[in-house]
Amino acid sequence: MAQRHILLPVFIALKFLLQYFLIIPGYDLHRDEYLHLDQGNHLAWGFVSVPPVTSWVAWVIRALGNGEWAVRFFPALFGALTMLVVWKTVERLGGGLYACILAASCILFSVLLRLNQLFQPNSMDVLCWTTLYFFLTCHIQSGNKRWLYAFAAIFAIGFLNKYNIAFAVVGLLPAILLTPQRKMLMNTHVYLALLLALLLISPT
């Protein structure tokens, strides 16, 4: 157990280092990054191309001085949090240290290296999808209703970041209906959590 507590911060530190040092200094920001950064100057509950979360992060970047280090920090942070969620999911499913290391290595050296270099909605999108499944796993294992509300909250954040997280929920419905987990649909808290998600996304 002690090894897990030591190795997880090591993997997260490596994630940040790789995201910063793999970028050739001569390259400028991507054109889409300038679009999302400019949205931080015009905060709203959504834009033609994307919902509002990216603009909120852009506002924070602006408050931090609009430096390139800050622009790179947030995609790297979302990638590191994705690694954390994957690690905790493996632990939740009974995986040992080797399984956790293997999962973290797959995140560390995957296509996410590219994705987490760019200030776009995609890094947050992957984090929200991953966390959505983690919260569902926690609820199925424990039956604790709080995970349903956490599921609703992360869905709302994901939806306010990028609408396509709705596909994740739509894809889960057949899986729930065709398995013993369909009994979840008899739980009042499922519908209260749905109401919470609708309230959170209603401004858009």
Tell me how crowded residue 8 is: count the other CB atoms within 10 A of its CB.
18
Q: What pTM, to 2 d.p., does this model score?
A: 0.90
Domain ranges of the chain: 2-201
In tens, the pLDDT along 133-169 reads 999 999 999 989 999 999 999 999 999 999 999 999 9
Average pLDDT, consecutive stretches of 10 residues, N- to C-terminus, the chain (204 residues): 76 89 72 86 81 93 88 93 96 92 92 89 95 95 93 96 92 87 85 92 80
SS3 (DSSP) at 204: coil
Report how far residue 68's alpha carbon sits from residue 19's, in angstroms, rounded to the nearest whole number: 12
Report how far residue 183's alpha carbon sits from residue 186's, in angstroms, rounded to the nearest whole number: 6
Q: What is the pLDDT of residue 145?
A: 92
